[in-house]
């Protein structure tokens, strides 16, 4: 009711409650309490459309319609219309008619690139033509704190001023937030950000165990791209502006996939050990080629697939397979984790077979299990190698987590802040340092060497 009343009075709110505290139900409560907010447009990821309808119809009398096309059609009478974020670009003209009275952006960090994209431009038109705006996310920042300005453009575009005002007031010469805690406190004082933790509402779950485990890797898979990686690293520092950006992106894609492939079999073996020990496992990765190896190695376990290759209906069917016990392994894409519910009733173990540059992505996945209804302590295994992209990604993850955490939770204590200025800088540096062929001699990492993460902010 605190969030409902705050939104009714302020009309713009970013609800940042910790994962598992029921942000969707809070949105439903507001819609039931405020008839002037109907009809409402909900903008969410594709796989979340059905979940929105299921939750709203299960606990309210709201009429819900799932938008089925990316272009306007005759809408049936309803209180809530649920859009996939990929559809809204075709509905701009309808948004501009003031038909919708409220906009709910589920996981608005998907709009962090701003209004320069079709979806961002459409979301901005929608936000400008409604009376109420609500954002729902526990991780509004996926990378660096400057993203908060873009996110707030869809919630309240006045609270942080123009971009020039924001950068002058809050960022340094490198575009980093100078005082993340001050920014987080300011947003709270303006009553535009409301965040409650599990401890605030008496929901004390055991702390998640985050375990970094070094696994064997195929040195040939990493060495096969070493020469090209060094060429790209040099181009990323000496080429033209366009060449530098393109080279850095190519280096990132190539090395990350090679790293995932090099340890894919070891990851599959680790997952098999977990399953044989009686633990259903959520296995997380990114590259299709890596999934293929996992599927081959774990073929007898018939893993469920919840990645970018499946349609929304296929994802829901695969999720049901996992929940029903038809399989003990569900392979999920790193970027498919936001908002999914019910996995906590089936599993307490998540294995990260590949890493993402953003700590928020990892946290979203962990919250799929670490939420109300979970009966066992949650364990998150980060399976990493000593070569490839894993070492520099782990460095950058700590930097990003530090800045984002201080904005979202400014009063949780002192955390380390580094001075890194780019996602891929450490990856480039790593390959620039490999100047001699002798440095390419493989050395196997200790098999299954267990190491506890020393800093909670690392992932």
pLDDT single digits (tens) 64-118: 999 988 899 999 999 999 998 889 999 999 999 999 999 999 988 888 877 878 8
Mean pLDDT of 194-203: 74
User: What pLDDT sits at residue 149?
Assistant: 86
pLDDT of 143 over the 70 cut? no
User: What pLDDT sits at residue 401?
Assistant: 57
Distance between CA atoms of residues 96 and 129, nearest Å: 6
User: What pLDDT sits at residue 163?
Assistant: 87
Q: What is the DSSP letter of 47?
A: G
pLDDT of 439 over the 60 cut? no
* Of 210, 211, 271, 215, residue with least CA distance to 386: 215
CATH topology for 2-201 is Rossmann fold (3.40.50)
Mean pLDDT of 218-236: 63
Render pLDDT for 323-338 as a digit per residue (tens, 0 to 9).
Answer: 999 999 999 988 776 6
pLDDT of 375 over the 60 cut? yes
Tokens 């209004």 sit on residue: 115
Give the whole-number percent of the chain exceeding pLDDT 70. 73
Q: For 86-90, 184-188, 368-372, which range has the lowest pLDDT when averaged over its residues?
A: 368-372
CATH topology for 209-452 is Rossmann fold (3.40.50)
Q: How do the domains of the chain map onto residue ranges?
A: 2-201, 209-452
pLDDT of 13 over the 90 cut? yes
Render pLDDT for 377-430 as a digit per residue (tens, 0 to 9).
Answer: 888 888 888 766 676 677 666 655 555 566 666 655 443 333 333 444 444 454
pLDDT of 350 over the 70 cut? yes
User: What pLDDT sits at residue 435?
Assistant: 40
* Element of type H or E holding 53: helix 49-59
Largest CA distance in the chain: 71
* Of 405, 386, 407, residue with least CA distance to 455: 405
In DSSP notation, 108-177 reads GGGGTTGGGSHHHHHHHHHHHT-SEEEEE-S-S-SS-TTHHHHHHTTT-TTTT--HHHHHHHHB-TTS-B
b/e for 199-215, b at 16 or more Cβ within 10 A? eeeeeebeebebebbbb
pLDDT band at 17 (very low <50, low <70, confident <90, very high): confident
Positive or negative torsion for Cα 395, 248, 262, 340: positive
How many beta carbons lie within 10 A of that of residue 73, not counting itself?
A: 10
Tokens 């819609």 sit on residue: 31
User: What pLDDT sits at residue 397?
Assistant: 67
User: What pLDDT sits at residue 258?
Assistant: 79
b/e for 262-299, b at 16 or more Cβ within 10 A? bbbbbbbebbbebbeeebbbbbbbbbeebbebbbebbe
pLDDT of 5 over the 60 cut? yes
């Amino acid at each position: 009711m605190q969030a409902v009343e705050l939104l009714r009075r302020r009309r713009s709110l970013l609800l940042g409650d910790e994962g598992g505290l029921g942000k969707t139900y809070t949105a439903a409560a507001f819609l039931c309490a405020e008839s002037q907010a109907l009809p409402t447009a909900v903008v969410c990821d594709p796989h979340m459309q059905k979940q929105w309808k299921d939750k709203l119809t299960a606990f309210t009398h709201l009429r819900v319609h799932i938008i089925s096309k990316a272009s306007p059609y005759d809408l049936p009478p309803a209180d809530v219309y649920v859009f996939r974020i990929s559809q809204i670009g075709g509905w701009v003209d309808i948004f501009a008619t003031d038909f919708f009275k409220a906009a709910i952006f589920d996981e608005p960090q998907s709009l962090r690139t701003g209004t320069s994209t079709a979806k961002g431009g459409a979301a901005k038109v929608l936000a400008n033509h409604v009376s109420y705006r609500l954002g729902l996310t526990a991780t509004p920042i996926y990378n660096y704190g400057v993203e908060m300005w873009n996110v707030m453009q869809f919630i309240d575009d006045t609270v942080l001023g123009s971009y020039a005002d924001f950068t002058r007031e809050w960022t340094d010469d490198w575009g980093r937030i100078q005082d993340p805690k001050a920014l987080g406190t300011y947003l709270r004082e303006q009553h535009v950000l409301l965040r409650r933790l599990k401890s605030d509402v008496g929901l004390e779950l055991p702390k998640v165990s985050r375990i970094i485990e070094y696994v064997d890797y195929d040195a040939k898979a990493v060495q096969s791209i070493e020469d090209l990686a060094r060429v790209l690293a040099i181009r990323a520092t000496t080429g033209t502006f366009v060449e530098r950006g393109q080279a850095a992106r190519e280096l990132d894609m190539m090395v990350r996939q090679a790293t995932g492939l090099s340890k894919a079999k070891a990851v599959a073996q680790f997952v098999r050990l977990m399953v044989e020990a009686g633990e259903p496992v959520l296995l997380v990765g990114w590259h299709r080629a890596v999934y293929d190896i996992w599927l081959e190695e774990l073929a007898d376990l018939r893993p469920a697939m919840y990645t970018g290759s499946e349609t929304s209906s296929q994802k829901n069917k695969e999720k049901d397979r996992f929940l029903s016990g038809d399989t003990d392994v569900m392979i999920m894409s790193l970027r498919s984790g936001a908002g999914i519910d019910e996995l906590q009733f089936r599993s307490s173990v998540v294995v990260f077979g590949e890493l993402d540059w953003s700590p928020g992505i990892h946290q979203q996945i962990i919250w799929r299990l670490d939420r109300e209804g979970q009966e066992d302590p949650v364990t998150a295994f980060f399976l990493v190698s000593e070569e490839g992209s894993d070492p520099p990604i782990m460095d950058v993850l700590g930097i990003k987590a530090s800045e984002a955490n201080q904005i979202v939770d400014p009063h949780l204590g002192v955390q380390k802040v580094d001075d890194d200025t780019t996602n891929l800088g450490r990856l480039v540096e790593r390959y620039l340092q490999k100047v001699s062929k002798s440095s390419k001699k493989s050395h196997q990492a200790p098999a299954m060497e267990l190491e506890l993460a020393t800093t909670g902010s690392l992932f």
